Amino acid sequence: MRGMKPAADYHRAAALPGLLQSRIVIIDGAMGTMIQRHALTEADFRGRRFADHGKDLKGNNDLLVLTRPDVISGIHEAYLAAGADIIETNTFGATAIAQEDYGLAAVAREMNEAAARIARAAADRFDSADKPRFVAGALGPTPRTASISPDVNDPGARNVSFDELRAAYREQAAGLLDGGCDLFLVETIFDTLNAKAAIFALDELMEERGQRLPVILSGTVTDASGRILSGQTVEAFWHSVRHARPLAVGLNCALGAALMRPYIEELARVAGDTYVSCYPNAGLPNPMSETGFDETPAVTGALMEEFAKSGFLNIAGGCCGTTPEHVAEIAKRVSAYRPRGLNSRMFSGLMAA
């Protein structure tokens, strides 16, 4: 029946907590960086179906699940071959809100289901009894923020409402669920209110479907202030979302591992009763490098090894600028270390919202 997942998928998702207790689990690296390697043209993004579409589509990476699924499948397989346990669907911008910029809001749900099916097929090809592979349905932040005004002259102005975000995330999640994802990943959170809309939508959908999948939440510290864009510290961010009881909470994007270290250390300290994920960028942007970022796989791998040695990690991988080579190096380096343990201590923060 459409919308219902086979029981085997639940068994796979149920295995994740035990796996996270036994070793550091590897998540994949950048999708956009790998797409850039293919030097795709406007025609690739359009395909036959959107050949006459009225807006430019080059750069709409999410659309490639419909027009160049072979490219996306190949990238998934490269990360799986590099040792990734979890691969993310190519759906970072596949909400109706984000797709409005391309005039493709009407096909957002279809994109998500197609993306999940592509990732599911790739994961199943690599899945084995001793190394199960998981598909994380990725929900990105959208290009609009519910907490910050887009008009410097009107602090109260907003270009999106909580209910609009909730509806868009619910549509996205429904497609990902029907496509066969094992868990949901709300990632690159720069606005906690946007994330809460996603959390609300996921709870609403899973209650309606009678299907409870694990959820990972990953925030983004945007600069040396140690805060996400909507103003919260790492500790405040955690206390704002802990009610969702995520399988893991973490940080990704914006910073390389070296600059991210104090923030992932803080998160590992305050989020004592959940697992911690970390997938940083490959250092700082560098237009002269092959990937557009300055860290080689060896550098990123060494930094992530130090995180593992320090006891910060349960899930490790890469974000912008990272490649299968980075992921393979991370997997090799962290494999010698035990995952971070959980405790039941409760922490509080004056800045928690």
Burial class (CB in 10 A: 0-12, 13-18, 19+), 302: middle
DSSP of 214-279, one letter per residue?
-EEEEE---STT-B-TTS-BHHHHHHHHGGG--SEEEEEEEEEHHHHHHHHHHHHHH-TTSEEEEE
Chain mean pLDDT for the chain: 92
Over residues 32-79, the pLDDT tens digits come to 999 999 999 999 999 999 999 999 999 999 999 999 999 999 999 999
Q: Which residues pair with 218 in a beta bridge?
A: 250
Q: Which residues, given as ranges, of the chain have pLDDT below 70? A: 1-11, 149, 151, 157, 344-353
Class of domain 24-145+158-334: alpha beta
Instruction: Give the separation between CA 285 and CA 36, rounded to whole angstroms.
Output: 15
H or E element, residue 122: helix 108-126
What was the pLDDT predicted at 8? 39
Q: What percent of the chain has pLDDT over 90?
A: 83
- Domain range annotation of the chain: 24-145+158-334
The model scores a pTM over 0.95? no
